Structure 1
Amino acid sequence: MTLAAQAQTRTRVRWIVAGMMWAAIAINYVDRTVLSAAAPRIQSDFHLSAVQMGVVMSAFFWSYALLQLPAGILADRFGQKKVLGLAVLWWSLATAVTGFATGFKSLVALRVMLGIGEAGAYPSNAGIASRWFPRNERATVAGIFDSGSKLGGAVALPLIAVMLAVFDWKVTFAITGALGIVWCLVWQFMFRDSPSEHPRVNAAELAHIRDGLAPNAAEDKRNTVPWRKLFAHRNIWAMCIGFFMINYNSYFFITWLPTYLVKERGMGLMEMGVMASLPLLISMFTEVLAGWASDRVYSSGRLSLTATRKLFLIVGLTMASSIGLAAFAQSAVMAVVLLCFAKSGMTVAASQVWALPADVAPKNMVSMVAGVQNSVSNMGGVVGPIVTGAIVGATGSFVAALVFSSALIVLAIINYLFLLGKVEPIEFEPPPMELENHERNNANARA
């Protein structure tokens, strides 16, 4: 850092960027949630069967999970500003025009279109974190932007319910879609792919960012490593396996939890609505706090980056394993307390999960690595509700389903302890032709 940079008061533009990343994820989840809230009216208006409505609700995941990797590749190649901006615009338009749907087929098509757009959100955010934030701030920013998903799941639902009561469901889709369009306009004016290109980032902030960047954050966008080679590295497997198991558990809170509280714990609909939102609301703040705390631990120098990531992953997942204890709670209140504790633990782990792509990805492949991780993890979101339903259907109770969920968390702990290796940028040997050219260039330079 130069003397001039040291003398300046550091600007904080990167935290405005973090706020925009958070808003993108919050809007992402708001637009996913609208259909769930409007489902009874849509099902009635179009005379859809329960099976057809289930297909409509799941159609989003078909494209969302499959396109995570392609979205990451595009973000690394063309820049996160273009890809994230286009992604938000795409899914916002898909949401806004849902009011023009004419029946089952058009609803399915529009939900697939929504998934295509939303696939670009998390991979792009991970890439932005790698370029705009030093390593000792990445868990904080990961906790910030991922906490937007909890807001979308907990707060948006009652707000959307109010809009549905005041407006027609078609108007509600148009209003929520407009949120993302406004976000896109702000994004285009205020964001740059590189902090060095931003007019409001001063030398002190730029030096702070660059001093804490890993070698994989270089601004050269050339990439010669085939994405398939990522699957040869143990850390990529560990990240995917662990996040799959975390997401398996996380989706319980936005799929089966209301049914559990009503049927297993005897709650009325109003009480259930409040209690079901508590785990998401509490975990939203827990995730940001956990990310901040882990960055403070790493910055102190007491633990290496590997030890810090593993510590918070294991602590968070140990908390998450209490989902199994909720099955045996004597009262509904205690069950909800344990579920809040479990969901908070999942977000403690998530603050590290979303920091890992920037920590381990090869140069200019952060969004790609994040896409691989999120694609596999969302398979947990697809499989989890199905398996839980099958266990509940076979046993007539949620006890075995919650115990099974807890067992998967234990496996996730073992995975992160032993399969996840040293947290550092992955390096691959260059292809033979590139290596030959490199050696020739070195020889010419010596000559």
Structure 2
Amino acid sequence: MTAKWFPSNEQAKAQALWFNGNSLGPVIGLPIIAMVAESYGWRESYYALAAISLFSLIMFWAMVRNSPSHHYAVNTTEKEYIEKGVATNKKELAGTGEVKAVLKNPVFWVLTTVYGCISIGFFGISTFLPSYLTEVKGIPFVQSAFVNAAGYGLAILVQMGSGFLSDRYMKRAVFVGGASACIILFLLMSMFTASALMAQILSILLISVLLMPAALTMTMLHKVASPQVMGRIGGIFGSISYALAAIGPMVVGAVSQMTGSFTGGFLALMSFILISLILCLGLMRKGY
């Protein structure tokens, strides 16, 4: 949808905007669903989630069309602007209209690995961070939940800012590599600080950069696959990346259990984030 509705110099903003749902959802949804469950019961909280999903389905059916030319609310100026941008994209995407051709492109596998390594870090950190703050840093569990919510709230600003800036400079890999470096830095500083307050601040900063690389990595995928095959390529890209992502919580759990502390598990996660950073340096040299 992003490839069909946005020219290449606006795709990162578009990706960042819709991907912010992953940040906005926990910020708004967690406390609301918790209150519904506490006041009425867990079944009623499921009914509330079902109602929200049904509302999303109705909105999608009513407002979304496959292309601008099929949309009732797109005026002529908008249609011409979008189609001009898409035409430019097609010239840049010559030879990327077949699944086999995309799968033979090494850049596709580099992007898949980058996204997989980032996902390992995201799920590994987000799964164990509340327990880490409570058990190691002595922060009450409820307070750690607010730390997570604050991190997701800041992530909205980080994602939108990176989306706008990467569209302006057309250097997506720079921002993904920068986020990887920040994840390593904030996690290291959080692990070795003795201050509970500083640990909370660093955790908020850490969560705020965890989600940002995902949207921009997906944007880079548009340079190796045309809209005609993006659905299939996106499916392959996502399934491999999230299969790798399952490693994250297992690594933290297993290594932490063997070493008797979270430190070993988080250090193991950093090795995957470091791989992402190194691969991004290679992508930068290719102009991504």
TM-score over 0.5 for the pair: yes
Pairing of 1:311-322 with structure 2 (within 5 A): 311-322=174-185
In 1, the alpha carbon distance for the partners of 2:136 and 2:28 equals 24
Cα distance, 1:151 vs structure 2? 2.1
Partner AA of 2:201 in structure 1: V
Whether contact under 8 Å (1:153, 1:254) holds in the other structure is: no
Q: Identify which of structures 1 and 2 has the higher relative contact order when contacts are C-alpha pairs closer than 8 Å and 6+ apart.
A: 2
Q: How does 1:30-429 map to 2 (within 5 A)?
A: 128-213=1-86, 214-215=89-90, 225=98, 227-298=99-170, 308-322=171-185, 323-418=187-282, 422=286
Q: TM-score, normalised by structure 1?
A: 0.59
TM-score for the superposition, normalised by structure 2:
0.90
**C-alpha separation between the residues in 2 aligned to 1:262 and 1:363?**
46
Cα distance in 1, alignment partners of residues 42 and 227 from structure 2: 45
Measured in 2, the distance between the counterparts of 1:371 and 1:337 equals 36
* Residues 407-444 of structure 1: per-residue CA shift (max 9 Å, x gap): 221211111222687479xxxxxxxxxxxxxxxxxxxx
Q: CA RMSD in A?
A: 2.3
Alpha-carbon distance, 1:371 to partner: 1.8
Between the aligned partners of 1:216 and 1:366, the Cα distance in structure 2 is 16
Aligned to 1:94: none
Q: Can you list the C-alpha shifts for 1:76-127, whole angstroms capped at 9, x where unaligned?
A: xxxxxxxxxxxxxxxxxxxxxxxxxxxxxxxxxxxxxxxxxxxxxxxxxxxx
Distance 2:92 2:75 in 1: 19
Shift of 1:211: 2.1
Q: Name the SS of the counterpart of 1:199 in structure 2.
A: coil
Q: Is the 8 A contact 2:26 2:152 kept in 1?
A: yes
Q: Distance in 2 between matches of 1:394 and 1:264?
A: 17
Bigger mean CA deviation after superposition, 137-146 or 349-358: 349-358
CA distance in 2, matches of 1:165, 1:363: 45
Structure 2 Cα separation of the partners of residues 275 and 363 of structure 1? 39
Larger Rg: 1
Q: 1:316–1:348: 8 Å Cα contact kept in structure 2?
A: yes
SS at match of 2:211: helix
| Structure 2 residues without counterparts, runs of 5 or longer | none
Q: Distance in 2 between matches of 1:216 and 1:185?
A: 35
The total of aligned residue pairs comes to: 283
What displacement does 1:333 show? 2.0
Q: What letter corresponds to residue 315 of structure 1 in structure 2? A: G
Residue type matched to 1:231 in 2?
L
Percent of matched pairs sharing the same residue: 24
CA distance in 2, matches of 1:389, 1:274: 23
Q: Is the 8 A contact 2:119 2:241 kept in 1?
A: yes
What CA deviation, in whole Å up to 9, does each residue of 1:258-308 have, x standing for no partner? 11111111111222221232222211221112101211223xxxxxxxxx1
Range with bigger deviation, 382-391 or 348-357: 348-357
The code of the aligned residue for 1:331 comes to S
The one-letter code sitting in structure 2 at the alignment partner of 1:207 is E
The one-letter code sitting in structure 1 at the alignment partner of 2:23 is: K
Larger mean Cα displacement after TM superposition, 341-350 or 229-238: 341-350
1:253 to partner: Cα distance: 4.2
**In 2: Cα distance, 1:368 partner to 1:293 partner:** 29
Helix, strand or coil for the counterpart of 2:246? helix
